[in-house]
């Protein structure tokens, strides 16, 4: 296994685990846990769909702008949730970083698998 693929998997797994396990223990209500899980899944889904269409060469301007809009809404929902959740300051910084680390790991894993 190449080092870049291993590093991509490591980024993705660490990001998802820090995000999911940290917020699972930090949010007291089940609805908060579901909210943050939904934000993570929406962000990862829109990233995957965009990368898949980009690799197939089927991205037009409307599709790209819809993906950008959904990604911005997802990031906005993440920040609204983090601000309103009962989290300490370090957790308010750590969980968005873990979210973006997960997305970066997903993108680098997809791109490294496309090169093979």
Tell me the DSSP string of 32-89.
HHHHHHHHHHHHHHHHHHHHHHHHHT---HHHHHHHHHHHHHHHHHHHHHHHHS---H
Summarize pLDDT for 77-92 with one digit per residue, the tens: 999 999 998 888 998 9
pTM of the model: 0.89
Are 111 and 50 within 8 A, CB to CB? no
pLDDT reading at 40 higher than 80:
yes
Residue numbers of the domain that contains 110 = 3-115
Provide, rounded to the nearest whole percent, the portion of the chain with pLDDT above 90.
59
3-state helix, strand, coil in the chain (%, to 5): 90, 0, 10
User: How many structural domains is the chain composed of?
Assistant: 1
pLDDT reading at 1 higher than 70:
no
Reported as a pLDDT band with limits 50, 70 and 90, residue 59 is confident
């Amino acid at each position: 296994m190449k080092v870049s693929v291993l590093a991509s998997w490591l980024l993705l797994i660490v990001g998802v685990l820090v995000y999911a396990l940290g917020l699972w223990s930090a949010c007291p209500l089940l609805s908060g846990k579901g909210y943050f899980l939904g934000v993570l899944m929406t962000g990862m889904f829109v990233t995957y769909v965009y990368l898949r269409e980009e690799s197939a060469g089927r991205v037009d301007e409307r599709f790209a702008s819809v993906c950008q809009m959904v990604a911005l809404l997802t990031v906005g929902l993440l920040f609204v949730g983090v601000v309103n959740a009962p989290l300490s300051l370090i957790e308010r910084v750590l969980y968005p970083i873990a979210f973006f680390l997960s997305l970066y790991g997903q993108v680098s894993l997809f791109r490294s698998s496309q090169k093979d």
